[in-house]
Amino acid sequence: MKEKILTILMNELGYSVHEAEVTAEDLMNLQPTLQPIFQKWFDNREITEVLVSGFSLKKLMEKQGYTFPSALIAMDWLLTEPEVAKKALSEYAKK
């Protein structure tokens, strides 16, 4: 599975080898609630909206320029370290 994730990240999204390696690891270790959302995207690039702590996956993509994988990892971060993630993502949104 990791090899296919790497291929998608590099060939479809233009990630470097290093970015793809780090991102693939993060995607394979998502919180259980996010795994089905990742699986849908992995299987057919279907994007399912996710809201966590007032943040929207689709808005991170549309307004902040995140790729789907990076937005999903941000959602995971909001689940695991909500206060730190909220502060960091809010600061980033102001730039």
Residues 48-90: tens digit of each pLDDT:
999 999 999 999 999 899 999 999 999 999 999 999 999 998 8
DSSP 12: I
What backbone torsions phi and psi does residue 37 show, to the nearest 5 degrees? Answer: -70, -40
SS3 49: coil
- pLDDT tens, position by position, 15-55: 999 999 999 999 999 999 999 999 999 999 999 999 999 99
In this prediction the pTM is: 0.92
Dist CA 79 CA 94 (whole Å): 21
- Domain of residue 80, residue span: 2-94
Q: Which residues contact 18 (CB under 8 A, 6 or more apart)?
A: none
Where does the pLDDT of residue 91 fall: very low under 50, low under 70, confident under 90, or very high at 90 and above?
A: confident
Where does the pLDDT of residue 95 fall: very low under 50, low under 70, confident under 90, or very high at 90 and above?
A: low
Measured in residues, the chain has a length of 95
- The total number of structural domains in the chain stands at 1
